[in-house]
Amino acid sequence: MAHSYAELNQRIDYVFKVVLIGDSAVGKSQLLARFSRNEFSLDSKATIGVEFQTRTLAIDHKTVKAQIWDTAGQERYRAVTSAYYRGAVGAMLVYDITKRQSFDHVARWLEELRGHADKNIVIMLIGNKSDLGTLRAVSTEDAKEFAQQENLFFMETSALEATNVESAFLTVLTEIYRIISKKSLIANDEPESMRKLKPSQGDEDISSVKSRRELQGPVVVCQHSLSLALELFFFQFCASFFSFLTGVLLAYIVVSYSFAIFVVVKLFM
């Protein structure tokens, strides 16, 4: 059972990084706004670069801080892929139920995710905009079948109506916690001689993180705040740089084309 905490200054037991992925305009930012702030904006604009929000929850009497990362779905931002996925232990793979192409691209997003993220990452396939049922282009059965084949969780959501948004995020966060807790119990039951044979912390993944709260504070299954801030700055810099290059290229093409037309006109005058 998970509940929101009103105050965020209490002791944190776990910090989980979860990423939102999927095509542009499928509603990733709206899902994030609904989950983190219980907001929805009809005037939402396309995400530029990367953004993230946090929310603190109670899961099984433990305090968990979720760091939810949102990125633009456009191809021009794909160069920051590996850094975006680094440290993620959960992912929300989103498509728009009214846009078949966004669902057709899910397999590509999943391949990219699994190629860069932790091998045990918890993934939820989300069919967003369920409030637009009359415009449906992707059947629930098709999505369920794909999710079963790929061993993914699956839900259809509506950020507009707040349908299943809370449930989708809590399912992922609770499953991450379950995996870590289960591994912690196994590790704590092992003889001391066996524990010494375990890999160092730097070699751990989500399935081998032991509870270190008593010794080191919260179990941070993602980057620390400074690292997150630096990565966010890097993402925004890359996004701005790519946008600048795109603008320069377009300007060059326009100027070159205009000059060519001018030369041709002059030659035949």
Taking every pair of C-alpha atoms in the chain, what is the biggest distance, in angstroms?
93
Contact 169, 18 (CB under 8 A): yes
Spell out a b/e string for 130-151, using b for 16 or more CB atoms within 10 Å of the CB, else e: bbeeeeeebeeeebeebbeeee
Which is nearest to 158 in space by CA: 125, 132, 123? 132
Range of the domain at 14: 2-243
Residue 101 counted as domain residue: yes
Residue 268 counted as domain residue: no
pLDDT interval class at 81 (50, 70, 90): low
Contact 22, 102 (CB under 8 A): yes
Residues 35, 4: Cα–Cα separation, whole Å: 11
Per-residue pLDDT, averaged over 60-77, amounts to 80
Residues 114, 120: Cα–Cα separation, whole Å: 9
Which is nearest to 109 in space by CA: 125, 97, 96? 125
Residue 249 counted as domain residue: no
Residue 254 counted as domain residue: no
Residue 71 counted as domain residue: yes
pLDDT interval class at 197 (50, 70, 90): very low
Residues 76, 239: Cα–Cα separation, whole Å: 8
Per-residue pLDDT, averaged over 75-98, amounts to 81
Give the CATH number for residue 157. 3.40.50.300
**Domain count of the fold of the chain:** 1
Residue 267 counted as domain residue: no
Residue 209 counted as domain residue: yes
R_g of the chain, CA atoms, integer Å: 22
Residue 262 counted as domain residue: no
